[in-house]
A and B are shown apart, each in its own frame.
Chain A
Amino acid sequence: MHALEKILANASGQAVVEAGQTVSARVDLAEVNDLYLQVLISFREMGAEKVWDPSRVVFAMDHYAPAPTIKSAANQKVMREFCASHGIEHFFDINSGVCHQIMVEAGLVRPGMVIVETDSHTTTLGALGAFGTGCGATDMAGILATGEMWMRVPEVIRVTYEGSVPEGVMGKDLALYTLGQLGTEIAGYKAIEYSGEAVLNLPLADKMTLCNMAVEMGAKTSYIQPTPDVLEYVRARTGQEPRPVFTDPDFRYHEEHRMWIEGMEPQVACPSRVDNVYGVTQVEGERVDQAVIGTCAGGRLEDLEVAARILAGKRVNKNCRLIVVPASTEILRRAIDLGYVQSLIDAGAVLASPGCGPCLGAHQGVLAAGERCISASSRNFPGRMGSNQAEIFIASPATVAASAIEGRVADPRKNL
């Protein structure tokens, strides 16, 4: 069995499971975000009264942090009251950050867990060897009521990276390159495992970004075998000895793909598809009015570090705005201590509160018709960040930082 299959077998009380089989999995951790008041509506409509296990439930106010409208404020208010009355202590308010980051920092995520969140980017947690998957509101209501979710055991696709990661290339570039090669549908209903020395040696932040973007290929979940540094991180955060799960040597992958990354350029997904990907030298010079560094796909400490390094002593172009959205308050605090925030602000960036920021077009940097944005977030769908007539490029935090200086898509390797 694959490690992901073993996790589902364990969660469903079976010795063996195989791809295609439907199982009822016990959920180790369930998270609801502030877009999903519908969870509580469905929960009530189901006739449920009590949450199955309040200690396994997390609420995060991250998509509207802080609330930009009266309606979103009212939704958050109902959630606060629900958590208080149901004894849910893992409540992360608007001063916390993006769920996928803050749950990891809080020591709630361990290898081998089944974690379901009302957010498609829950695939991020595969970077810690967990089975993380996103669901909708009504599925989540079912989980809150019963602690279980039915799911189909996914086939596993392995993507192996060969060669070493070139200077100026980040986990985000590997994710975009893979999307460009394999497209948005390759992993529908399936899982993706990322492997190869290049990936295993990446910092956890980059692994999380890579796993985050797996959902853009349709993946239900993703996986990277935890390395000693990741296990050490989990040990420090959770105070427990992590128990990683391993894939059997005779496991047969559904598909295998190999990516040769030696000499690879930084990558850019052009409007308006995440698989419309080119090397940065083919896109250089395209005008951008706004640049965004942050969110769950580009707002970790390593991301802010590279951006600060590129922008130190420089100025954001007068025709461009730069918005920085740390993925969590802990990251923000460390970025302040390490001087990154100073460098970014001195260069002309504006800081938004930790969370999802402008990624989903709700607040903190919505785009007007005709505007173009380069962003280290995850999606460039039409209208994603505001007007349907706005255009979005997706790139690494390094490429976004370099582009902010030029007011045009730029190659970060010239600034490193």
Chain B
Amino acid sequence: MVIEGRVYRFGDDVDTDQIVPGRYLELVRPEDIALHVMEGADPGFSARFVPGSVIVAGRNFGCGSSREHAPIGLRAAGVSCVVAESFGRIFYRNAINVGLPILKCDRIRSAVAEGDTVIVDLAAGTVSVPKRQEVLQGERPSDRVIRLLECGGLVNYVRERIGSGEAKPVPVE
């Protein structure tokens, strides 16, 4: 999976309350959640965001609450990938389960600026920044994670396996 997009950049410890504030947790339809995504960190984000773009963040992105609304909203808003220096554990699992590409990559936040274009090669775990002629090596996701993302998430994956008579959720950590 290779993803190219413009960067929207955030800092450290963007928790899931900032990604989808608590007052919107009653929402269920992904497109409704998407209207409020990142509202706690940047209130104008969803109006400004160009679908297909990439979110780059510092450490511990998605820490806090287990709300799956966070990756569901990001994906429905058209976020093509989240690259961060580290992730909250539950968010990381949830993102893969809902088919939101996600990559852990040290130093990414200081290596790119808002508006840069990056090319993320998920299978290789790399992020290239053409403007700066730099390629950063992130943590290559396991083959299982890649397969899950290619399926579009855990729902499709389990559905396929229920169909084949071997239903089991798959590891993503």
Residues of A bordering B, CB below 8 Å: 22, 24, 35-38, 41-42, 45-48, 63-64, 69, 71-72, 75, 118-120, 134-139, 141-143, 145-146, 148-152, 184-185, 188-189, 216, 218, 220, 273, 360-362, 366, 379, 381-386, 388
In the bound complex, how far is the Cα of B173 from the Cα of A45, in angstroms? 23
What chain B residues lie within 8 Å of A379 (beta carbons)?
15, 17, 64-65
Q: Do B154 and A135 touch (CB < 8 A)?
A: no
Q: Do A41 and B28 touch (CB < 8 A)?
A: yes
Q: Do A382 and B18 touch (CB < 8 A)?
A: yes
Q: Provide 26 A-B residue pairs closer than 8 Å at the C-beta atoms, listed in order of the A residue.
A: A22-B171, A38-B68, A45-B159, A64-B26, A75-B26, A120-B64, A135-B90, A136-B66, A136-B97, A138-B98, A139-B154, A146-B158, A151-B173, A152-B173, A184-B63, A185-B60, A185-B63, A188-B88, A189-B173, A360-B22, A361-B17, A362-B25, A382-B41, A383-B40, A384-B17, A386-B23
Q: Which of A24, A46, A188 contacts B159 (CB 8 A)?
A: A46
In the bound complex, how far is the Cα of B171 from the Cα of A148, in angstroms? 11
What chain B residues lie within 8 Å of A145 (beta carbons)?
158, 162, 167, 169
What chain B residues lie within 8 Å of A118 (beta carbons)?
66
Within 8 A of A (CB), among B134-173: 153-155, 158-159, 162-163, 167-173
Q: Do A134 and B68 touch (CB < 8 A)?
A: no
In the bound complex, how far is the Cα of B29 from the Cα of A75, in angstroms? 12
In the bound complex, how far is the Cα of B154 from the Cα of A386, in angstroms? 32
What mask results when residues 54 to 68 of chain B are scored 1 for a CB within 8 Å of chain A, else 0? 000001100111111
Q: Do B66 and A134 touch (CB < 8 A)?
A: yes
In the bound complex, how far is the Cα of B22 from the Cα of A152, in angstroms? 29
Q: Do B162 and A46 touch (CB < 8 A)?
A: yes
Chain B contact residues: over half helix, strand or loop, or mixed?
A: loop
A388 and B40 contact, Cβ closer than 8 Å, known pairs A134-B66, A134-B90, A381-B18: yes
What chain B residues lie within 8 Å of A48 (beta carbons)?
158, 162, 167
- Shortest Cβ distance from B135 into chain A, in angstroms? 26
In the bound complex, how far is the Cα of B15 from the Cα of A20, in angstroms? 25
Q: Do A143 and B169 touch (CB < 8 A)?
A: yes
In the bound complex, how far is the Cα of B91 from the Cα of A120, in angstroms? 10
- Shortest Cβ distance from B172 into chain A, in angstroms? 7
What chain B residues lie within 8 Å of A72 (beta carbons)?
26
Q: Do A35 and B169 touch (CB < 8 A)?
A: no
Q: Which of A119, A218, A366 contacts B66 (CB 8 A)?
A: A119
- Shortest Cβ distance from B21 into chain A, in angstroms? 5
Within 8 A of A (CB), among B27-57: 27-28, 39-41, 43
Q: Which of B13, B93, B173 contacts A22 (CB 8 A)?
A: B173
- Shortest Cβ distance from B169 into chain A, in angstroms? 3
> Which A residue's beta carbon lies closest to that of B42?
A388
Q: Do A360 and B60 touch (CB < 8 A)?
A: no
A71 and B27 contact, Cβ closer than 8 Å, known pairs A138-B153, A145-B167, A220-B89: yes
> Which B residue's beta carbon lies closest to that of A363?
B23
> Which B residue's beta carbon lies closest to that of A20?
B173
In the bound complex, how far is the Cα of B72 from the Cα of A185, in angstroms? 24
17 extra interface residue pairs, beta carbon distance < 8 Å, beyond A24-B171, A273-B13, A360-B17? A22-B171, A37-B28, A42-B155, A46-B167, A134-B66, A135-B90, A138-B97, A146-B167, A150-B172, A184-B60, A188-B88, A360-B22, A379-B64, A381-B64, A382-B17, A382-B18, A384-B22
In the bound complex, how far is the Cα of B110 from the Cα of A369, in angstroms? 32
What chain A residues lie within 8 Å of B66 (beta carbons)?
118-120, 134-136
Q: Do A141 and B26 touch (CB < 8 A)?
A: no
B80 at the interface (CB under 8 A from A): no
Q: Do B171 and A151 touch (CB < 8 A)?
A: yes
Q: Do B88 and A218 touch (CB < 8 A)?
A: yes
Q: Do A24 and B168 touch (CB < 8 A)?
A: yes
In the bound complex, how far is the Cα of B159 from the Cα of A362, in angstroms? 34
In the bound complex, how far is the Cα of B151 from the Cα of A45, in angstroms? 14
What chain A residues lie within 8 Å of B167 (beta carbons)?
46, 48, 145-146
* Most B-side CB within 10 Å, residue of A143, A220, A362: A362
B117 at the interface (CB under 8 A from A): no
What chain A residues lie within 8 Å of B65 (beta carbons)?
119-120, 360, 379
* Most A-side CB within 10 Å, residue of B22, B90, B162: B22
